[in-house]
Amino acid sequence: MPLKISLKPHEKVFIGGAVVQNVEGYVEFSILNDVPVLREKDVLTEAEVTTVCGRIYLCVQLMYMDPMNLMNYQNSYAGLMTEVLHAAPSTRSMLAELNAELACGKYYQALKIARKLMQYEQELINHVRQPA
């Protein structure tokens, strides 16, 4: 089934290895084959990563967008996951859900879970920073 994409003016979308930017007006198009697709708002750059869970998101994003280097990203992910589990055991179920999606090759769905993991991490950080 085709994936229908709508872009606002100047919005970018990453399709496979290409970055596509709408110049002006709204545009709609369909992607007819199975390729990695990420909207600009879902892309996290290395410069934006400030936390371990952010590095997990970036790792999953790279697994999705750069399958040629999948094994490298999987190795990095395994180390990051261990680090998170050690620091915050309460993330175990979320990481298990993330691992299940990754094991099935469902990288886009895994990114959604990784985003939730980042939000949960931020909640934990905010809780620790609150005065006693």
DSSP secondary structure of 87-124: H-GGGHHHHHHHHHHHHTT-HHHHHHHHHHHHHHHHHH
Given pLDDT bands bounded at 50, 70 and 90, which one contains residue 58?
Answer: very high
Does residue 129 carry a pLDDT above 80? Answer: no
* Nearest to 45, CA basis, from 29, 58, 31, 32: 58
Whole-model pTM: value is: 0.90
38 pLDDT more than 90: yes
CB neighbourhood size of 126 (10 A): 9
Within 13 Å, how many C-alpha atoms sit on residue 104's CB side? Answer: 9
Q: Above 80 in pLDDT, residue 1?
A: no
**pLDDT digits 0-9 by tens, 85-126:** 999 999 999 999 999 999 999 999 999 999 999 999 999 988
Question: Any idea of the CA torsion for 76, 78, 81, 85, to the nearest 10 degrees?
Answer: -140
Q: What pLDDT is recorded for position 132?
A: 61
